[in-house]
Every structure is written in C-alpha cells, then in structure tokens.
Amino acid sequence: MSVLVIAEHDNVSLKVATLNTIAAALALSGAVDVLVAGDACQGVAAEVAKAVGVSKVFVTESPALANALAENVSSQVLELAKNYTHILFASTAQGKNVAPRVAALLDVAQISDVTRVIDSQTFERPIYAGNAIATVQSSDALMVLTIRTTAFDAVALGSNAAPVQTMQAVTDSGLSQFLSKAIAKSDRPELAGAKIIVSGGRALGSAEKFTEIMMPLADKLGAAMGASRAAVDAGYAPNDWQVGQTGKIVAPDLYVACGISGAIQHLAGMKDSKVIVAINKDSEAPIFSVADFGLEADLFQAVPELTQKL
C-alpha cells in the first residue's frame, strides 16, 4: 500500500485539514507521503514534514500553482499518481475542487467523504445527510478519496523530520486563470477548525440580536460563531457561518446551539461535536435529542445570564 496525501495550505501555513487527512491515510498504511504544491511554500513543506507518520514530502513551487487552480494542481498530482495505490484529499472546498479532476483523469471512481477506513478497498461514508452510512468497496488499482476531516483526529506535528524532496512543477495548463479572492477577515477562530462554536438560529430574529446576544458569549468562550441556515437565509448571519448539510461540517469540543430547532440538515453538520449544549424554549425541539446538556429557556434571558456567569 502506498498512500499520497495532497496538502492544503495558503503557501504560508498548513491547514489543519491536512493533518486529519494524514490520520485517515495512516489507517491505510504505516507510511504516508505528502505533496505540497504551491508557490514559495517551502515553509509549509517543512511544517508537514514534522507530522507524525509522514515518510516523505514532495514540494513543488510555481506561480501557476500559487492559487491551487484545479487544472494545474491535478496535473501535478498525476505526475506522482502512478507510484501510489491511494490518493487522499481533505473533503474541503479545495479538496473537492481538485479530487474529481484527478479521479476523472485517472479514469477511476472517486470515493467521497470517507468517515472510516475498514480495509484498503472498503470505506464508510455518510449518505442522506448522515442518516445512513454506506459501506463502499472499490476494486480500482488506484483510489482517489476525499476525507471527512471531522471523522479523524488530526495527527500531531511532532518531532518527525521526514525528508523533503523538490519536484519540477508542471507547466501552466492555461485552462483557467486566477482573478481575485475575497477573504472574510475575523479575529475569531475559523469555524471549520474551531474547538468551541456558539451557534444561533432563526429565533434570534435579527443581525443586531446576533451581535447583542450571541457575540458576548462567543467572546467569553473564545469561540467561533455559527448559525443555522434559516438564520443565514434571513440575513441575520453571514453565509460562511452556516453549519449543516449545505454549510460547514464541524466537530468542536463544545457546540452551543441557541434557538436552533435541530432539523436533520443542521444536525448533519454538528452532531459529531464532543459536547452539545442546547438552549431552546420548546422542550420538544429535536436538538435536545442530540444534546448532552439541554436548557429549556428563553435564549434572550438565558444567554446573557450564562455569559455573565462565565
């Protein structure tokens, strides 16, 4: 078994999702190689070389790879593909952008959103918004997998010192061009990797109430902010706060859901959280079925009181 993980990064630092993906790779093989494709990204290669279980790091640098365009990154991956039985990507926006192209060019079926490795050919993945788990088996000689990062604990960046090998960059495919990116700036932790998330639902009633009621609690806990889709659709919270089937999949140590009913599409994004606290005034709300601690209360009273006591 030979496994290659495609690192996710911004040319400066490694995304934690890569460490979750390496953990999944280690369930397949004791030795895992990593590809860092980018520009001026030697620092990222040095960082991932410290990750537990990594045998070798390939690094390739070119302006054509700076923005992780799927057309160029997939060509780079193909340069190495023939040496591997499994190629793993994180199931993130970036991974999901590149992996299908790699699978198509290799003429194999991608196995998406893997949550468990049973053996080298057999994997589990959630279907129907996480209400059923499919066991998928593939006989392809080379498998392309995307890994649901919340299902695998990140490997440590320990005292490992895997060799870093520079490889030649592919030429620009010319098929796509990077124009610009708009990144939301926030002092808060990134939602997808946050240890604590404070999340609000439609019950908040306005963006002002999110700021007035939810933000102080998030500030006290050093938490990322999350929201239900209903809250996002109503304009109470920005789009990138959405947790759920069509939002972000999260699994923090603590998830505090306030005024969120707990529709299956929301639960699909947060039910793997280690500890779930729900505040809802309806004792029948489905969120209480997954909550470790439930408070049947009006959030407009309970949340400020909780914030004050913390």
Give the C-alpha separation, 281 to 203, whole Å: 10
Q: Which of 7, 285, 290, 306 binds ligand FAD (CB under 6 A)?
A: 285
Size of the site for ligand FAD (CB under 6 A): 28
> Which residues from 34-53 bind ligand FAD, rule CB under 6 A?
none
CB of 131 to ligand FAD, least distance (A): 13
User: What's the closest the beta carbon of residue 268 comes to ligand FAD, in angstroms?
Assistant: 7
CB of 34 to ligand FAD, least distance (A): 31
- Per CB under 6 A, does 226 bind ligand FAD? no
Nearest to ligand FAD of 67, 261 (CB atom)? 261
Cβ(225)–Cβ(241) under 8 Å? yes
By the rule CB under 6 A, 193 interacts with ligand FAD? no
Selected binder of ligand FAD within 95, 193, 247, 294 (CB under 6 A)? 247
- In the chain, the DSSP E strands lie at 3-6, 32-38, 54-61, 86-90, 110-114, 116-119, 122-127, 132-137, 143-147, 164-166, 196-200, 224-227, 254-258, 275-280, 293-296
Task: Tell me which stretch binds ligand FAD (CB under 6 A): 62-70, 106-114, 187-195, 197-205.
Answer: 197-205
Residues forming a β-bridge with 33: 4, 56
Distance of CA 249 to the CA centre of its chain: 7
**Positive or negative: CA dihedral 53, 59, 63, 65:** negative
Which of 201, 191, 102, 100 has the alpha carbon at shortest distance from 150? Answer: 191
Residue (69 or 258) nearer to ligand FAD, CB: 258
Q: Does 282 bind ligand FAD (CB under 6 A)?
A: yes
Chain residues in the site for ligand FAD (CB under 6 A): 201-203, 228-231, 242-247, 259-261, 263, 265-266, 269, 279-282, 285, 298-300
